[in-house]
Structure 1
């Protein structure tokens, strides 16, 4: 496999419904975490601790959502496999 083919396969893997859903979720998480970062910034907290705290809050909020997204797509994949074997 050439480097060009490997790069194309890597890029091609991003053209999927799963990536589109994850991309949208990622953008939503920016909007959700922005108020926390704004409050922490207005309290005079430096950027690095601010980011760590906001990311921690974001991970708590989006942990369940990510599980739902990936479980949903796993169920779809398993249903497709089951229908192909029938």
Structure 2
């Protein structure tokens, strides 16, 4: 397989509903994280600790949301496979 074909397959793998949902979720997380980062910045916290704390808070918030998103798409995928095997 040449490098161009490999790159195209990699890029093509992102054209899916799952990626679109994840992309939207990622953008929402940016907006959710901004207030935490603003507060930490106003407390005089430097960039690195601010980022680490804000990302930790974000992971606590979005862990369950990510599970819901991926479980939803897994259920859809499993339904497709069960219908195909019938």
TM-score range, shorter chain: over 0.9
Structure 2, unaligned stretches of length 5 or more? Answer: none
> Structure 2 length normalisation: TM-score?
0.99
Alignment RMSD: 0.4
Q: Quote the residue 2:26 is aligned against.
A: 26
Q: Quote the residue 1:77 is aligned against.
A: 77
Runs (4 or more) in structure 1 with deviation over 4 Å come to none
Query: What is the alpha-carbon distance in structure 1 between the residues aligned to residue 3 and residue 83 of structure 2?
Result: 35
Q: How many residues align?
A: 86
Deviations 1:20-75 (A, max 9, x none): 00000000000101000000000110000000000000000000000000000011
> Structure 1 length normalisation: TM-score?
0.99
Structure 1, unaligned stretches of length 5 or more? Answer: none
Give the deviation of 1:9 after TM superposition.
0.4
Q: Quote the residue 1:44 is aligned against.
A: 44
Q: Quote the residue 1:16 is aligned against.
A: 16
